[in-house]
Amino acid sequence: MRSSYLAYAMSVIVSRALPDVRDGLKPVHRRILYAMHESGFTHDKPYRKSARAVGDVMGKYHPHGDASIYDAMVRMAQSWSMRVKLIDGQGNFGSVDGDSPAAMRYTEARLAKAATFLLNDIDRDTVDFQPNYDESEHEPTVLPAAFPNLLINGATGIAVGMATNIPPHNPAEVIDATLALIEKPDMELDDLLEYISGPDFPTGGIILGRSGIRSAFATGRGAIIIRARAEVEEIRKDRKAIIITEIPYQVNKATLQERIAELVRNKQIEGISDIRDESDRSGMRVVIEIKRDATPEVVLNHLYRYTQLQTSFGVNMLALDGGKPRLMGLKDVLTAFIAFREEVILRRARFELNKARDRGHILVGLVIAVANIDAVIALIRAAPDAATARESLMNATWDAAEVEPLLALIHDEGNQVIDGKVRLTEAQARGILELRLQRLTGLERDKIQQELSEVAIRINELLEIIGSHIRRMEVLRDELALARAEIATPRATEIADYAGDQDDESLIEPGQMVVTITRDGFIKRTPLDVFRAQNRGGRGRTGAGTRGDDIVVRSFNAHTHQWVMFFSSGGKAYREKVWRLPEASPTAKGRALVNLLPDLGTDTITAVLPLPHDEELWEALHLIFATASGGVRRNRLSDFRNIRSSGLIAMKLDDGDSLIGVATCREGQDVFLATRNARCIRFQITDETVRVFAGRGSSGVRGIRLAEGDRVISLAVLNHVEATVEERSAYLRMANAKRRAENAAETAEDDADNVVIEADDEEASNSTDLLSPERFEELEAAEEILLVVSNGGFGRRSSAYDYRVSGRGGQGITNMTFSANKRGTEVAATLQVLDGTDVMLVTDAGRLIRVPVNQVRVMARQASGVTLFRLNDNESVTSVFPVMDDESEDDDGAAAPAAEGTPATGADSAPAKPDDAGTDA
């Protein structure tokens, strides 16, 4: 079995599946072309039935089924399979949709003009022949190909234990590279790449990147990514469509459309409303209509990922070289072709030289006969028969004076000149006997002399070709130029620069997400538009499903393509894109962070920082760290640019301490720390107060001195505004008066419950003596607003001017006063907010409410605030974060209702009255 299988394997490798590097053909293709050439089915003759050509091949050369022969013949006639067609077909030869060709009895075919360049001179001893399977005929072992067909048309084959997959290339580029290699045989691969930019598929498309091409050309192996050519067009008002005009090589268009439809049905790809094929004789056109609310670019990226609109072509340039399979690079293939073609030219020259010498030899005999015509005629007339006449001519001696120069001219050694005499050879004698009488005229005698001169010139040319490598290369260049002029076509496949594999981020719809983290370490992201804005005092909606006594401890709003940095209780930093976080519905609990960050171990995430979307800003930014014990530290953001999957040490923490916040900052800004027991401090970021630490392992410096039992809960970075104490006081009095004028209808309950030290209008008007209108407008433009929320659901806004700048490390000032008749004994959060934005409040029961900040009054720093969130018994606010986009409002000022398809908010989310009276909403 071992010997039998080895023989079978070698037969498949050498005689069936692998192409020859010389002509780029497998045996079946070679036999088809040769049989059609032998039968005269050339490009300048009428079409013949395909069945006749298949029959000739099967009967003479290829003892296999007619189906395999016809399939190979059909492929050579398909413009989407061959870069240069070798068969000119008439009839149905299939389609790019995978349609089967018509039966061979219906189609007609003949050799394409390009095939003549593969077959030219095959009858001039240019290649070896071998017996066919029954030794009744002879077939060529290789065709004398005049162009590098292996590279131009490529090849695909599966043998035993090996396979080949060679892509097609542009004919002009391949021939130009061959010509350049002939000129400079020591040319390197980089020089060849200036001529051949990469594969050129007949179906067009776009090759992504050049690394795979270079690898394939250098080693013979490489992976090439091919992408369909697609454009986004507006087909009608507000409706866009993806138009596909070219698809990757060897992709079935009909199967591709079926796959897209299947993905749409299974909802693996969303945003497609219709798909149709508008291809016709003018070209390919597949239209994929996009829904109004979908992003065409994202849908297209999904199609690239999940369908054959993007494929990988694995190059394996394995071919037979000297009868042995060999993996070759680009230069190896071209070098082998040049060597083969030089041998073809040499063998052809020797064949033609022999023919020319034979003809010259006959012409010399004719010259002798014409010069001695009377004696020749007398000999012939005296002979009784042709054989005797031939013997008489050969035995006679003739004067060599006239022919001796001719013998030297044509290098003829067949006639020996002895003592000025020469004898005729048998071939010359036969030629004389076959001489027609009309050749004896003066004109014909001149033609014999002229032909002899031409033969002499041709013989010398052939001798020069045989004796000179340089001359053979000149002939090769001329013949390649002729082939190029015939088969060269413009490049069909574009090569685009590409960094690597397609980034998964391109598959993600850009948009805002709410990221929620629970105490037990579950994380998820939910689209922001799920949560509609409500008036303050509403009942909210369920925003995070929890398990057991788990509670939501952190939530923030971020873009899908934004980096998020996680800081653990052990002082390590991790980094992840928002779109990589698990997406879940508002009621789902999410995914455990320990599964998302496998090296987290037993640590918990204590701080989360969404980084700026534009990474160019990272160089100019610093990170400010704040711990629960009141410590702060400043580092460059660029120190955290490269974070491995196992994390990076971010800050050294003492036992029992934890990170409560990390924010980006710049030199000269202010750090604002707020504590649980309503204390706060504000100090400027300078090298004297908080220097930039070079390392990441230090614990930092003291930011605020805490009372026993207190801890820092919030960190904010504010812009530093140079203003005196008098200017700030005057501004606050004038701003409060302005706000009271704009909000005259405030409720009695809020006024009674909030301890606000405010000046009356007369005092405010007197403040203009200290603060000019211009200075007031300047300070107003730079004003920042802080929102303070208690764990009882009350909150208020205050001007940042109400918080003086002090030195680092002090005990701070009062941040909020708690009212006896309002719930709440601790501050849940203090954060900076902007007009026109919303804030999200999260409770330990997993409920969320989204409140416009404009509905929260601006009050003095000591005020206890107004109702933001009506809580159930034993429920507390645990997290507050800003939402950066607005939703539309109805004409009456109430928040717009949830869009159709948005989960209902439930009865406990009814909006409160605008005046926020103390009664239930």
Write out the DSSP string of 347-386. Answer: HHHHHHHHHHHHHHHHHHHHHHHHHTHHHHHHHHHH-SSH
What is the per-residue pLDDT for 477?
Answer: 96
User: Cα–Cα distance between 411 and 801 in angstroms, integer?
Assistant: 112
Contact 785, 797 (CB under 8 A): yes
Cα-Cα end-to-end distance for the chain: 91
Catalogue the long-range contacts made by 652-658 (C-beta closer than 8 Å, 24 or more residues apart). 652/571, 652/697, 652/698, 652/699, 653/569, 653/570, 653/571, 653/627, 653/699, 654/629, 654/699, 656/629, 657/627, 657/628, 657/629, 657/631, 658/569, 658/606, 658/627, 658/628
What is the per-residue pLDDT for 583?
Answer: 79
- pTM for the model stands at 0.63
What is the per-residue pLDDT for 544?
Answer: 54
- Beta-carbon contacts of 549 under 8 Å, excluding residues fewer than 6 positions away, are none
What is the per-residue pLDDT for 573?
Answer: 84
Give the number of other CB atoms < 10 A from CB of residue 247: 26
What is the per-residue pLDDT for 900?
Answer: 30
Give the number of other CB atoms < 10 A from CB of residue 316: 17
Catalytic residue among 5, 8, 106, 133: 106
What is the per-residue pLDDT for 898?
Answer: 30
Cα diameter, the chain: 156
- SS3 of 594, please? helix
Write out residues in the chain with pLDDT < 70, as ranges.
412, 414, 442-443, 499-508, 519, 532-553, 569-570, 598, 606, 645, 697, 743-770, 883-921
Q: How buried is residue 207: exposed, middle or buried, by Cβ count under 10 Å (0-12/13-18/19+)?
A: buried
User: Cα–Cα distance between 173 and 192 in angstroms, integer?
Assistant: 10
Closest CA to 284 of 96, 45, 154, 544: 96
List domains and CATH numbers for the chain. 25-144 (3.90.199.10), 229-308 (3.30.1360.40), 340-477 (1.10.268.10), 510-721+782-909 (2.120.10.90)
What is the number of residues in the chain?
Answer: 921
Closest CA to 329 of 220, 203, 209: 220
304 is catalytic: no
CA 647 to chain centre: 29
User: Cα–Cα distance between 868 and 791 in angstroms, integer?
Assistant: 11
CA 102 to chain centre: 38
Closest CA to 880 of 815, 817, 791, 813: 791
**Could you tell me where the DSSP H helices lie in 61-138?**
66-75, 113-119
What is the per-residue pLDDT for 864?
Answer: 86
What is the per-residue pLDDT for 539?
Answer: 59
Residue 174 DSSP label? H
Give the number of other CB atoms < 10 A from CB of residue 779: 21
460-490 burial code (b ≥16 CB/10 A, e <16): ebbeebbeeeebbbebbeebbeebbeebeee
Closest CA to 567 of 489, 633, 505: 633
State how far the alpha carbon of 919 is from the alpha carbons of 374, 913, 916, in Å: 146, 9, 8
Q: How buried is residue 241: exposed, middle or buried, by Cβ count under 10 Å (0-12/13-18/19+)?
A: buried
What is the per-residue pLDDT for 902?
Answer: 29
Strand bridging mode 494-496 / 206-208: parallel
Tokens of 625: 């760290």
Radius of gyration of the chain measured on its C-alpha atoms: 45
What is the per-residue pLDDT for 184?
Answer: 94
User: Cα–Cα distance between 733 and 726 in angstroms, integer?
Assistant: 11
What is the per-residue pLDDT for 890?
Answer: 35
Contact 767, 734 (CB under 8 A): yes
369-399 burial code (b ≥16 CB/10 A, e <16): bbebeeebeebbeebeeeeebbebbeebebe
Beta strands in 531-598 (DSSP E): 541-542, 552-559, 563-568, 572-577, 591-592
What is the per-residue pLDDT for 453?
Answer: 85
What is the per-residue pLDDT for 504?
Answer: 58
What is the per-residue pLDDT for 872?
Answer: 87
* Cα torsion angle, 176, 181, 183, 187, sign: positive
State how far the alpha carbon of 558 is from the alpha carbons of 503, 573, 582, 664, 885, in Å: 20, 18, 14, 15, 11
Residue 120 DSSP label? T
Tokens of 509: 């719809």
Contact 165, 313 (CB under 8 A): yes
CA 643 to chain centre: 25
